[in-house]
Amino acid sequence: MDERSNLLDLEAGPPAAKQERADAARNRVRVLDAAARLFAANGPGGVSMQDIAKAAGVGKGTLYRRYPDIASIAVALLDDHERALQEKMLRGAPPLGPGAPPAERLAAFYEAMVELLDRHTHLVLGMETGRSRFATGAYGFWRAHISTLLAEAQVADREATVDLLLAPLAPEVFQFQRDRLGLDVQQITRALTAMGRSVIACAQTG
């Protein structure tokens, strides 16, 4: 199975619009940087569009022309973070990138995802919880990646297994483990890694 062709199709998304003007690009960066700082301090629910416009040094009209609401800004920020991770999975060094055995790549994926969740819980909780999680392009990307690794490891019933391996990465599960149970990211990562390795080891030993 060709991982690059499967995942690149998901990564590509819709055709690109016309090239962004330099001033528009600068405003976009200023808005997203300001929003990232405010969201980290207050969460998306504690920030207004006026707060972001003021922190970014742009007019409200400029802000609203690109982003109609807070949710659209949060989506843009989260998309940037997820695409950076996807790029490492497609073209980065192993074991997260191509070239390592499936069990090692799955372990690296879990480590990277836990780090993303830990850093950006406030964004992910607002965008990718419940049924909405399965409708995102990111979930499709993660699913295609894990499915490819399971195929390489010759895991049976991988269509059912792939979602079971992704289920513990639901942001509400991560938040419960970290904030309510007091588990640290190392403990969560070790548990996920052990689970993934066990699934692949069982398949390979018959």
For residue 113, which of 194, 164, 169, 161 has the smallest C-alpha distance?
169
Q: Name the residue range of residue 110's domain.
A: 3-17+25-204
Asked if the peptide bond before residue 15 counts as cis, ω within 30 degrees of 0, the response is no
For residue 75, which of 125, 123, 34 has the smallest C-alpha distance?
123
- Per residue in 80-115, pLDDT (tens digit) is 899 999 999 999 999 999 999 999 999 999 999 999
Domain total in the chain: 1
Give the C-alpha separation, 117 to 121, whole Å.
5
* Domain at 188, CATH number: 1.10.357.10
- Its pTM stands at 0.80
Out of 13-27, 40-54, 141-155, 168-182, least confident range: 13-27
